[in-house]
A and B are shown apart, each in its own frame.
Chain A
């Protein structure tokens, strides 16, 4: 049989195959970057991709991120709590007024008992349903929450270890699982651990989707919850597929095996566009920086040097290198963000001013500045660390700065981040390149600027210590009126920019590609998306 005949014979088979795999109407198949389905018991792993795909769609928290708009930063809005206030007589006590009529997927009612039960699942080691596996991914995101008390069926009090105005933001991470469903499963399983495993296979939250099929490591299928308390989802079904390899994800989209992929391979974007695929991007609350060391031995202790480096970087050139998939970072928050403030130091590219500042600090042709930076070759949220850092190395040479890299494995770099720049693991580095999420002010500002957060307590790797910043942090955490809190955070952020406490380089833009058949997707300025909005033709 000739090759031509063989190909002709194969065509009907291929056609049949595709007819068989045609998707039911309203099913959106999503290729995730994760290698496994994020945990479905209510506190997902796999970083914020977990919250995005098995947290927010299946569950609700007391508070939520507004993901309905692409043209402004995402802010915290009511969810299962309709409103809340801090107790003026005891600032460690918050009162949350709960939404009436919300029900879990098993039909049971969401109420104050459910909130207390869910707080205890991660904070009360004596609780019968306490699950150590959920502690790690939850407690770190609510560092001051200590306990909950029922006031009445629809009102609950939450207590923090210290006054903390950031609690409502932190609570977006505590998803409400159904106590009734868990207790029913507990009757059939020998212990809490086994019960939580069973719960993960048949989860029950209050979210806009319910899990209808779960194949570990391969797929999760979520069907629209028609009894959802809020606006119902447009798509009937969402199928989640873990495809960790970027080229495989891209090929899956191009071959119509999925309708939506996270983080397409950058090189494939022109091809995706040529095939009429939609490419969505929007700046995320994510920062890709060099974090300076402030010890005596570090040249970055001098604010003039830090400002010079910030001015010496050609961020637009870096954006070109990345095919447009980054946003220049001119601070942790961009201008216009509620917490950006009005810094007097304007971060921009001004190499002449950078050279002048370096000369003022004593560096020049006769005494070049050499910086040693610890970086990784890969890592979650690290974008493309090697080419990006090599670009910076070449770029900064133009202002007389020599950069040396200490490239180490991503997990080791992360571990070093907790050790501080005075630790042996820093190996004399003057800066470290670890990207971070800026959704929550604790993680974007407090843990870096507060002297109490110096390593190894938290991620103040540079051992920054300035009483003025400690006061600003305290003001922000004690500002309980939302407007006052935002103003205090703005002052803290602006002060950080003025002191150039980071070398701010890039924000990720969370690129995702999808079939032209997907309609209604909104790409918010957030790590998350609202899966209620898209539909498929």
Chain B
């Protein structure tokens, strides 16, 4: 297991390099110019040239990439072109906020998806099954930014029950676990949870249905176990696969909430990426994507290890 862990950590290095390189090149081939983050496009050419020299943007691309890489290796993600603030200071607070949102959405999606999937798998072919499958299809099909806007219209604008935007009355910097702050989390978390809810529902339904048809379940019933007792055995057998799916969903939510965070002005990595894209803020883009990719790799590794712990039949060596 130890060598497996080391090997997986080493695998992350070429992934990080590839992600960094692809991200760097994507920004270069995108329309516009990163210098627009610093000087207006109507600036005199000599000023543009001077600022490019100041920021090293006049260097050949391989040199720029190499310089960035050397700094990253030393733990320095650079500074935002637009604000001059260290990338890490903006990124660390954004990651915390996104992690909070993603965890809340995952929890909602996981609980509802597991319940719906479990019921659907247990009562296959009944109206419960059809209802759960319809919910799952709706969950993965409805554009979540649209759902977010609808929820805002209903619960913020019409009913005035929940806030429409932000991460707390004073911003995320003074986050507290009280209702005054938690209410800001409700709508974005519910919005973001619909896709994992749909995916988990379908996954759990399939796995539960498959397990329910296995001989050991018949044997359990034959031994006289109650329905609840059988259900616990089914859950234990389904858990590793469901966990793997949920782990991946958490990873997707970390990087895939750009639209939802923008709709709710939630100050996470999605909103950070959104503004960085529009401002061509290269260091913020590269740093954020790199860290999110590494998070995804780490999450995969974590899920693998938990799967192994839950199901000794799965060997990692």
Q: A35-B275, A248-B263 given as contacts; is B47 within 8 A of A219 (CB)? A: no
Within A33-86, the residues touching B (CB, 8 Å) are: 35-36, 39, 45, 47
CB of A254 closer than 8 Å to a CB of B: yes
Q: Is B160 an interface residue (CB 8 A)?
A: yes
Is B210 part of the contact surface with A, judged by Cβ < 8 Å? no
**A197 located at the interface, meaning its Cβ lies under 8 Å from any Cβ of chain B in the complex:** yes
With beta carbons under 8 angstroms apart, the residue of A16, A36, A219, A247 that contacts B82 is: A36
From the candidates A215, A411, A447, name the one contacting B171 in the complex (CB within 8 A): A215
For A275, give the chain B residue with the smallest CB separation.
B157
Stretch at the interface among A129-137, A303-311, A323-331, A477-485: A129-137
Give Cα A228 to B48, complex, Å.
Answer: 37
Inter-subunit contact A257/B163 (CB<8 Å): yes
**Contacts A14-B161, A132-B54, A242-B265: A247 and B149 contacting too (C-beta < 8 A)?**
yes
Find B43's partner among A47, A139, A193 (CB 8 Å cutoff).
A139
Q: Chain B residues with Cβ under 8 A from A216's Cβ?
A: 83, 85, 89-90, 93
B170: chain A residues at CB < 8 Å are 215, 219
Contacts of A16 on B, CB cut-off 8 Å?
179
B164 touches A248 (CB 8 A): yes
B160 with A14: CB separation less than 8 A:
yes
Contact (Cβ within 8 A) B169 A21: yes
Given the interface contacts A14-B160, A244-B262, A457-B45, does A251 sit within 8 Å of B165 by beta carbon? yes
Interface residues of A in 437-474 (CB under 8 A from B): 443, 447, 456-459
Q: How far is the CB of A267 from chain B (nearest CB, A)?
A: 12
B32 touching A251, Cβ below 8 Å: no
The reply to whether the CB of A412 lies closer than 8 angstroms to some CB of chain B is yes
Interface size on B, residues (CB 8 A): 59
Q: Which of A17, A45, A47 has the most CB of B within 10 A?
A: A17
Asked if A182 CB lies within 8 Å of chain B CBs, one says no
Is B215 in contact with chain A by the CB < 8 A criterion? no
Q: Which B residues lie within 8 Å of A458 (CB)? A: 42, 44
Looking at the complex, which of A340-348, A414-422, A524-532 is the stretch in contact with chain B?
A414-422
Complex Cα distance A418/B47, Å?
14
0/1 per residue, B174-201, Cβ < 8 Å to A?
0000011001000000000000000000
Cross-chain pair count, CB within 8 angstroms: 167
Listed in ascending order, the chain B residues whose CB lies under 8 Å from chain A are 31-33, 36, 38-45, 47, 50-51, 54-55, 79, 82-85, 89-90, 93-94, 149, 152-153, 156-157, 160-167, 169-173, 179-180, 183, 262-265, 267, 271-272, 274-275, 278-280
- In Å, the complex CA distance between A277 and B300 comes to 50
Q: Is the CB of A135 within 8 A of B183?
A: no
Q: A252 touches which one: B55, B164, B274 (CB < 8 A)?
A: B164
A193 and B84 contact, Cβ closer than 8 Å, known pairs A139-B47, A414-B32:
yes
Is A217 part of the binding interface, using a Cβ–Cβ cutoff of 8 Å? yes
Shortest CB distance B28–A (Å): 13
Name the distance in Å between B299's Cβ and chain A's nearest Cβ: 25
Instruction: Give chain B residues whose Cβ lies under 8 Å from the Cβ of A45.
Output: 82-83
Q: Which 10 A-B pairs have the closest CB atoms?
A: A411-B32, A136-B39, A35-B275, A412-B31, A251-B164, A218-B171, A255-B156, A414-B41, A409-B31, A132-B54
Which A residue's beta carbon lies closest to that of B39? A136
Distance in angstroms from A160 CB to nearest chain B CB is 15
Residues of B within 8 A of A242 (CB): 265
| Contact mask for chain A residues 228-272; partner B; CB cutoff 8 A; 1 contact, 0 none | 000000000000011111011001101111000000000000000
A13 and B179 contact, Cβ closer than 8 Å, known pairs A217-B272, A248-B265:
yes
**Which of B94, B160, B263 has its CB near the most chain A CB atoms (within 10 A)?**
B160
> Are the CB atoms of B275 and A244 closer together than 8 Å?
yes
- CB-CB < 8 A to A136: which residues of B? 38-40, 43, 47, 51
Contact A414 B36, beta carbon cutoff 8 Å: yes
Residues from chain B with Cβ under 8 Å of A193 in the complex:
79, 84
* Cβ–Cβ contact B38 & A133, under 8 A: yes
Residues of B within 8 A of A410 (CB): 32
Does A143 lie at the interface of the complex (its beta carbon under 8 Å from any beta carbon of B)?
yes
CA distance A133 to B81 in the complex (A): 8
Min C-beta distance of B265 to chain A, whole Å: 5
> CA of A271 to CA of B183 in the docked complex: distance in angstroms?
25
When the two chains form their complex, are residues B47 and A248 in contact, meaning their CB atoms are under 8 A apart? no
Residues A245 and B152 in contact in the complex (CB < 8 Å), given A136-B51, A140-B39, A257-B164: no
